[in-house]
C-alpha cells in the first residue's frame, strides 16, 4: 500500500523546509507554500526513493503541518518520531 504525505494547510506557514527535502515532490507557490508537482496536492503520494526524506520533513517541519497517511510501518496517522 502506498504512503501519502498529508499537508495540514491550516498549520502550514510555507517555511520551505519540506520543499528543500523533497524537491522532486514539492515546489513552492508565489507565497512560499508547498505545491505538489503532480497528483493530489493535499495527500501527496510518496515514492520509495522519497520515503526517508519525507520522514525527515515531517520531523523538521517547524509548524508540525505534515504527517504520513496510510500504508507501511510507522504510519498509524501519527507523525513519525520526534
Site for another protein (CB under 8 A): which residue of 2, 8, 47, 71? 8
How far is Cα 76 from Cα 53, in angstroms, rounded to an integer?
A: 18
- Count Cα neighbours of 30 within 13 Å in the Cβ-side half-sphere: 0
Contact call for residue 52 and another protein (CB under 8 A): no
Cβ neighbours of 67 (radius 10 Å):
17
Contact call for residue 21 and another protein (CB under 8 A): yes
Contact call for residue 37 and another protein (CB under 8 A): no
Please say whether the beta carbons of 81 and 13 come within 8 A. Answer: no
Least gap, CB of 17 to another protein (angstroms): 5
The H-or-E segment that residue 38 falls in is: none
Contact call for residue 82 and another protein (CB under 8 A): yes
Q: What 3-state DSSP class applies to 3?
A: strand
Contact call for residue 46 and another protein (CB under 8 A): no
Site for another protein (CB under 8 A): which residue of 1, 73, 76, 77? 77
Least gap, CB of 4 to another protein (angstroms): 13
Amino acid at each position: 500500500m502506498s504512503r501519502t504525505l498529508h499537508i495540514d494547510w491550516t498549520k502550514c506557514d510555507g517555511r520551505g523546509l519540506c520543499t528543500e527535502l523533497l524537491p522532486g515532490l514539492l515546489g513552492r507557490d508565489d507565497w512560499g507554500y508547498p505545491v505538489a508537482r503532480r497528483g493530489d496536492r493535499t495527500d501527496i503520494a510518496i515514492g520509495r526513493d522519497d520515503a526517508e526524506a519525507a520522514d525527515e520533513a515531517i520531523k523538521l517541519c517547524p509548524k508540525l503541518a505534515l504527517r504520513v497517511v496510510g500504508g507501511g510501518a510507522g504510519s498509524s496517522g501519527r507523525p513519525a518520531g520526534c
